[in-house]
Amino acid sequence: MSKATTNRRKNFKEPTTAASVTAPIAGKRTRVRKIKKPHDSENGRGAEDIEDLLRFNGDEIAVMRVSLLDWYDRNCRDLPWRRLDSDSSFRCEEKGSSEWKDLGDEDEERRAYGVWVSEVMLQQTRVATVIDYYNRWMDKWPSIHHLSLASLEEVNEMWAGLGYYRRARYLLEGAKKITEEGGSFPRTVSSLRKVPGIGNYTAGAIASIAFKEAVPVVDGNVVRVLSRLKAISANPKDSLMVKKFW
């Protein structure tokens, strides 16, 4: 067990039971609950509000946190956007990668920029495809300042093959906006949302990974996991459903 994992376990009260968290995944028969829709009457279909269904007690939260972080430390992949630079080594267990050490402002902004670029590239694109594009991008524009000096033609040329070119244009527009406003990378979800092309998910990813802001990040995978934990009948591809989970 890694030192990081051991420290995490010390920070949580030992739960009295994990049955209510693990039962749906472990195969125990659990009643699947439906979410109340706008046209449902209060007692008409026996449906429940999602806010009520998604409540977890302290013991459940402790179990999930430790389990998820332990799994990550054992299984996380060595990906370039998880390093500060291409020369740095990466070992999940040794570094306790789910518990990033404190960084200076400059390194935090480098990480924020890398997370931003990777999150945009990974939208509707496989990780294996993105890796080479990400490395080439960061070699050419290693900081938000470098990117802000690029032309749209240069950015589109670098992006060729990834598709959805609007994503590349938003990266360039966002870099120019941040640079024009002083060059300091936004550090909170509320300020990140003001940057062109940065939505709730990307803002949450940047703020939480780079600046340690405790904010939610919800996508189809999160909806699937929470739905299974609470035995909720939910379509993870339904945009309205994803909004409810936020």
Catalytic residues: 119
- Identify whether the C-beta of residue 96 lies closer than 8 Å to the C-beta of residue 2: yes
CB of 169 closer than 8 Å to CB of 152: yes
Which of 64, 39, 37 shows the shortest CA–CA distance to 233? Answer: 37
Tell me the residue ranges of DSSP E strands in 112-237. 232-233
Burial string for 18-39 (b: 16+ CB within 10 Å, else e) reads bebbbebeeeeeeeebebbeee
Backbone angles phi, psi at 64, to 5 degrees: -65, -45
